[in-house]
Chain A
Amino acid sequence: MGFLILLGFIALAALSIWARNAFWKAANQKVIMRKSHARGQSAIKATTTFVVPGSSAADVVRTVVDTLGYPTTKRAVAGEMVLLDTTDSSASFSLANKFHESWVSRLLIADKADGAHGSYQVLRWTLNDGIALGSKEMEIVARRVSEVITGMGGTVTIQVPE
């Protein structure tokens, strides 16, 4: 009997935590932070595709990484943009500190006959009460990547699925 009562308390506690989280998630997404939620969702879903004629994938990766100039080590407390890893055909960026990654994005490029073809998109993100963390930084970094590619003579297309 005592065991059943304990189980009941645990179930009640879990239910109340779930209800609280569901309430704040819905309230933030639909009422309190509706605009932030919409911006965050479009930043998460956006895919930037591009073609840079006459350039190799390695050139494009190097130019983007050098121009953005993000450090490779995470700070202890302050969440800042970092370059997680880079190869001749890809680079990963993150808004992170030593304990937590708010989001991770990837620049992926392949060599084709007419130049470098690639894409940039957010791969992983974190929600806090239903709202994506660091969505403004997502927008800024995506815009900066587009600017660098355009500066190299590339053509950029941004797709945001409904």
Chain B
Amino acid sequence: MNAPEIESMRARSRHLKVAGIVAAAVGGILAKIGTTSIGLFVFYLLLFFAGLGLMVYSQSVYRKTLS
């Protein structure tokens, strides 16, 4: 990998991490607030875990740029 490719991957990992943080925060807060609809509650939980997954994935993308 050359320097521009590395910087491009690092930028992608940053964007993914921010998206993950936002998704996990929104999902977590909404799930904590709660709802009377079980479907919505499941959606909030999915949003939360999708955010966590994005954060983990973004870190693995970043690690590739270190190697």
Contacts and interface: CB of A to CB of B under 8 A. Distances in A.
A140 B14 contact: no
If over half of A's interface residues share one DSSP class (helix, strand or loop), that class is named, otherwise mixed; here it is mixed
B14 A78 contact: yes
Nearest to A134: B59
Nearest to A147: B67
Interface string A126-152: 000000000011001100100000000
Interface residues of A, number: 12
Interface string B1-32: 00100100010011001100100000000000
A78 B62 CA distance: 10
B66 A144 contact: yes
Find the residue from A75, A78, A79, A81 having the highest chain B CB count within 10 A: A78
Interface in A54-95: 69, 75, 77-81
B3 A78 contact: no
A140 B66 contact: yes
A77 B66 contact: no
A77 B18 contact: yes
Given A69-B3, A140-B67, A77 B21 contact: yes
A136 B61 CA distance: 13
Contact of B66 (A75, A78, A81): A81
Find the residue from A77, A79, A80, A81 having the highest chain B CB count within 10 A: A80
A137 B18 contact: no
Interface of B: 3, 6, 10, 13-14, 17-18, 21, 58-59, 62-63, 66-67
